[in-house]
Structure 1
Amino acid sequence: MAARSSTESFVGSIDQGTTSSRFLIFNEAGEVVASSQQEFTQIYPQPGWHEHDPEEIVASVKSCIDSAVTAFKTNGYSISSIKAVGITNQRETTVVWNTHTGEPLYNAIVWTDTRTQSLVRKLKEHETSDTLQSLTGLPLSTYPSAGKLLWLLDNVPRVRDAYENGYLSFGTIDAWLIYKLNGGVDRNVFVTDPSNASRTMFMNIHTLKYDPTLFAFFNLDGEKLHLPRIVHSSDREAYGTLDSTELVNTPITGCLGDQSAALVGQKGFSAGQAKNTYGTGCFLLYNVGESPVISTHGLLTTVAFDFQGKVNYALEGSIAVAGSSIKFLRDNFEFINDSPDISALAETVEDNGGCVFVTAFSGLFAPYWIDDARGTIFGITTYTKRGHIARATLEATCFQTKAILQAMEKDSGHKLKELAVDGGMCNSDLAMQTQADLISIPVKRPAMRETTALGAAIAAGLAVGVWSSIDDIQTTNTEGQTVFNPVMTKDKAESMFALWERAVTMSRGWTN
């Protein structure tokens, strides 16, 4: 194939998720021109435990880069036209390694993992525990990285030894990937961005710096623990360059936690804009502007992005189970052969037949924060069919989204006018129409739904001039969007939601 124009510029995007790694290459119009995806092993050593092999994650990312670049070249493009690479990643997932050798000291503990329940309850008894959220934006729960690190120190001798002897490195997946993709110990590029650092409970949400008060609360010595340096989300120098793969020497210039990346990919650059990503879990971010808003209604406060000193914050509602509930129906109940079949099954019935499915497989996250809830299906009768349970499964995520939006309205003082959506589950027209009906506002779905990867590409591209400013990006990925307008009456929506809230109350107390 003939070579393409040498004036075209492209940006690569590493999208390291909970179940797979991907690499996508975007052009200046925000279109995907090549991509590759690779699943990796999910490790469940005990009920409620969820781990990944850190080295397998790195290997999967490198494999995806090479596969996508090979396709890129086959289509007539030149590697030299890829100006930079951005990274977006699963966030709270925790990795610890030997500072001297770069060897992981334990499997990565995944954000969904609930092994720290008893530890978190003890931390909540501390007399100053109620001050943490005002400093970090996060409530104490099994979700942030801090508890996972404390568990490792208490239960894994080689991690404790590394800490006591001053060679324990701690990071979220972004920091681990950047470190390894730069070659590890030799270059020792050990950095993170504020959108990821804000998920650890070690960073002060106001100063964007690690806070000695927080280390003291968790009884950690900040001098013994090696933490990644916090840098801008978009930075020309700080993230180093790839030391291998087809893109060797290509600069890494952007980094965002996956949900912040999706907000950027949806162009949610201004206060009052919101997006909901329906992935393995479900994450709703509402941009609140340049000052953090600390929630009093069960939400998290997080850094949306830091583009060369322009810092925006967001309120966040996190749902532990969204797309994974569909995977559960596929793998555990064998209701469907492939996840996209869920809509067709749900459409075999007119409604949920009285079934309500609280998909609290790992407890309930925002805005409820019930760690002893478990998955429960209410309303089953001899009338119940698979289609009713399929519909109730889709509705579960939509109900939790409604609960989060109500909390956001209370915290921000503003009612959302529309909701931008992305993620695999939003491919279901039925799910998105249900969502619009239950929240009584329009739901907008873009034609190109790789918004998380696009957000990382935008962060990287801004640093190297592929896009000169945020204004250059505003029209990216706007053609062909679908708008789902509510057709259900508000009274009907509120009646259904009241039944959901009753089911949530009844799902409590299933674990000690």
Structure 2
Amino acid sequence: MSQHYLIGIDIGTQSAKVVIFTTGGQIVCEQQQPLRPLATPAPQYAEHPDDDLWSALQIACRKAMACFHQLGGQNHQLLAAGLCVIRCCRVLMKSDGELAWPVINWMDKRLNQPYQHQPEYGDVSYVTTSSGYITHRLTGQLKDTCANYIGWWPMDNDRQQWSEDPALWQRCNLRPDQVLDVIPPGSIAGEVTAAAAQACGLPVGLPVVVTAHDKAVEALGAGSLTPGVALISLGTYIGAMTHGEKNHTDARHFWPFQASLPGSWLYECMDVRRGMWTVSWFRDQFGAAALAEATDRGVSIEQLMNQQAAQVPPGSEGLITLHDWAPPAEAEFRKGAILGFDGRHTRAHMFRSLLEGIALTMKNHMDKMADELGVPFHQLIISGGGANSDLFMQIFADIFGLPAQRNKMKSSAAIGCAINAGMAMKIWPDYASACAQLVQPGECFHPDARHHQLYQQLNEAVYQRLHSQLDPLFSQLSPLVDS
């Protein structure tokens, strides 16, 4: 092992992943540590218990470094670590950098409003993001990427710095002394401290490079850099995005965010807030009866459910899933729904309907974004664990009527981290060269014209009308059960 290596650190909603790459793009070690289930102390509250993000990262790092050393790797060969942490969380830090309160997850309804100090929070010196917190844990520096401040933050996105508008600070209920210094993606925030090295197994002095918010890092790591190419990221939060060059502050059907690609913007449409979480929920709650069958066949329960759902016709014979298990901020009364049951339907129908509901929801959101941008999509790139499913990939191709490609490595965020880290260390001349080196395209699925026509009919006649039909009922139900 005579070459040099980069580390990609990706902490999502469900796990912490650490991947060590060669500068040529080969994966040397890949380890992860599941996060604990979110705590829900009140309806529509969601917190990471104790210090779970940091605890999981320590375990994942130690496992990755043990693997690296077993393969003959030496600490001096590691050039830098790129860091990407789940976005849209709120972290309350004490003056010594410890948590004053458990990390408030992006699904928590408190994040729909500006920060409000509560007596139970205790001594809060800093209000920051999850990436700011983990950056401080690793480096001891009070620094964060400027590209992970989404929501109630006084950020000037065009300047990539804190706003100079006092009124915006007041609306966000924050003061300049309560936030961390911000730096652009691809910048070195600091070096791994002795305390962090002891906790994580990383070498002391290893440069830590900031990236952006997790979806922007995925878009970079997926190689979706050109107009007309969209990334659909299959995570707990399912988003769709495409790169551009302008901050469309007046956009109606998408958000312009700072990209992990310096000087660019990431356009992201509406989402499915508990997308792959819903698939996992279905497996855990209703898959027990399939477990014995999966064991007998020598496959995982996910493989079995995908195999069985692939035998169900497109459209799930009329079974339709509406994905509102976590409602949007503008309609907190909404609930998830599965409609159209009759005697034909089995567990396989329900599973396929969950996948179709995700793809239909994303198509409707993405069509509005493409129309507003005036740039139709001609290719999809699918990332995340769900891209391992041939069935899900084909459903996306059939519903969109577009080729759907997955890359060889489905966890694009770790690649994006390595790209930002490598650029900070001047490994490649530009980001296009970095993507060409690290991003490795995989299989491409092409649409079936008959299936696409059926999905179009179902979408226009039924799916696009579900909210208008169900919202009045759910607005009556929510006050009865969510108080």
Structure 1 alignment gaps of length 5 or more: 117-141
Structure 1: 4+ residue segments shifted above 6 A? none
| Bigger mean CA offset, 488-497 vs 105-114 | 488-497
Q: CA deviation at 1:35?
A: 1.7
Q: Distance in 2 between matches of 1:298 and 1:87?
A: 29
Q: CA deviation at 1:57?
A: 1.5
Q: Distance in 2 between matches of 1:471 and 1:19?
A: 30
- AA aligned to 2:230 is A
Q: CA deviation at 1:13?
A: 1.2
Equivalent of residue 256 in structure 2, options 301, 306, 319 = 301
Q: Give the alignment of 1:205-220 within 5 angstroms.
A: 205-211=157-163, 212-218=166-172, 220=173
Name the SS for the 1:481 alignment partner. Answer: strand
Query: Is the contact between residue 98 and residue 168 of structure 1 (CA under 8 Å) also seen in structure 2?
Result: yes
Distance of aligned partners of 1:480 and 1:318 in 2 relative to their CA distance in 1, 3 Å threshold? closer
- 1:494 matched residue in structure 2: 456
- 1:329 matched residue in structure 2: 282
Distance of aligned partners of 1:379 and 1:25 in 2 relative to their CA distance in 1, 3 Å threshold? same
Q: CA deviation at 1:385?
A: 1.5
1:147-175 CA distance string (max 9 Å, x none): 2633xx2xx3043x64xxxx520111100
Query: Is the contact between residue 243 and residue 264 of structure 2 (CA under 8 Å) also seen in structure 1?
Result: no
- AA aligned to 1:51 is E
- AA aligned to 2:469 is M
Q: Distance in 1 between matches of 2:260 and 2:159?
A: 14
Equivalent of residue 280 in structure 1, options 236, 239, 250 = 236
1:149 aligns with 2:100: no
Q: Distance in 1 between matches of 2:193 and 2:428?
A: 22
Give the alignment's TM-score, normalised by structure 1: 0.83
- AA aligned to 2:41 is P
Q: Give the alignment of 1:127-146 within 5 angstroms.
A: 142=112
Structure 2 alignment gaps of length 5 or more: 292-300
- 2:92 matched residue in structure 1: 96
- 2:478 matched residue in structure 1: 511
Q: Give the alignment of 1:130-279 within 5 angstroms.
A: 142=112, 147=113, 149-150=115-116, 153=117, 156-159=118-121, 162=123, 168-182=125-139, 187=140, 189-211=141-163, 212-218=166-172, 220-223=173-176, 226-236=178-188, 238-243=189-194, 244=197, 245-247=200-202, 248-279=204-235
- 1:343 matched residue in structure 2: 306
Q: Give the alignment of 1:13-24 within 5 angstroms.
A: 13-24=8-19
Q: Give the alignment of 1:307-386 within 5 angstroms.
A: 307=262, 310-334=263-287, 336-337=290-291, 338-351=301-314, 352-364=316-328, 370-386=331-347
Equivalent of residue 413 in structure 2, options 410, 427, 452 = 452
Give the alignment's TM-score, normalised by structure 2: 0.88
Query: Is the contact between residue 44 and residue 50 of structure 1 (CA under 8 Å) also seen in structure 2?
Result: yes
Query: Is the contact between residue 147 and residue 184 of structure 2 (CA under 8 Å) also seen in structure 1?
Result: no
1:468 aligns with 2:429: yes
Name the SS for the 1:419 alignment partner. Answer: strand
Name the SS for the 1:327 alignment partner. Answer: helix
Relative to its length, the structure with more helix (as a share) is 2
Q: CA deviation at 1:314?
A: 2.6
Q: Distance in 2 between matches of 1:113 and 1:341?
A: 33
Name the SS for the 2:259 alignment partner. Answer: strand
Q: CA deviation at 1:426?
A: 1.2
Equivalent of residue 399 in structure 1, options 360, 370, 377 = 360
Aligned residue pairs total: 454
Equivalent of residue 85 in structure 1, options 57, 78, 81 = 81
Equivalent of residue 40 in structure 1, options 35, 39, 52 = 35
Query: Is the contact between residue 268 and residue 275 of structure 1 (CA under 8 Å) also seen in structure 2?
Result: yes
- AA aligned to 1:216 is Q
- AA aligned to 2:466 is A
Q: CA deviation at 1:295?
A: 5.5
Distance of aligned partners of 1:462 and 1:246 in 2 relative to their CA distance in 1, 3 Å threshold? same
Q: Distance in 1 between matches of 2:265 and 2:228?
A: 11
Q: Distance in 2 between matches of 1:476 and 1:275?
A: 19
Query: Is the contact between residue 278 and residue 425 of structure 1 (CA under 8 Å) also seen in structure 2?
Result: yes
Q: Distance in 1 between matches of 2:354 and 2:136?
A: 39
- AA aligned to 2:413 is T
Distance of aligned partners of 1:339 and 1:234 in 2 relative to their CA distance in 1, 3 Å threshold? same
Q: Distance in 1 between matches of 2:447 and 2:250?
A: 28
- 1:119 matched residue in structure 2: none
Name the SS for the 1:67 alignment partner. Answer: helix
Q: Give the alignment of 1:403-414 within 5 angstroms.
A: 403-414=364-375
- AA aligned to 1:84 is A
Query: Is the contact between residue 259 and residue 266 of structure 2 (CA under 8 Å) also seen in structure 1?
Result: yes
Q: CA deviation at 1:44?
A: 2.1
Task: Give the percent of matched residue pairs that are identical in Structure 1 and Structure 2.
Answer: 20
Q: CA deviation at 1:480?
A: 5.5
Name the SS for the 2:244 alignment partner. Answer: strand
- AA aligned to 1:114 is K
Q: Distance in 2 between matches of 1:193 and 1:69?
A: 25
1:425 aligns with 2:386: yes
Distance of aligned partners of 1:302 and 1:340 in 2 relative to their CA distance in 1, 3 Å threshold? farther
Q: Distance in 1 between matches of 2:469 and 2:285?
A: 23
Q: CA deviation at 1:47?
A: 3.2
Query: Is the contact between residue 301 and residue 316 of structure 1 (CA under 8 Å) also seen in structure 2?
Result: no
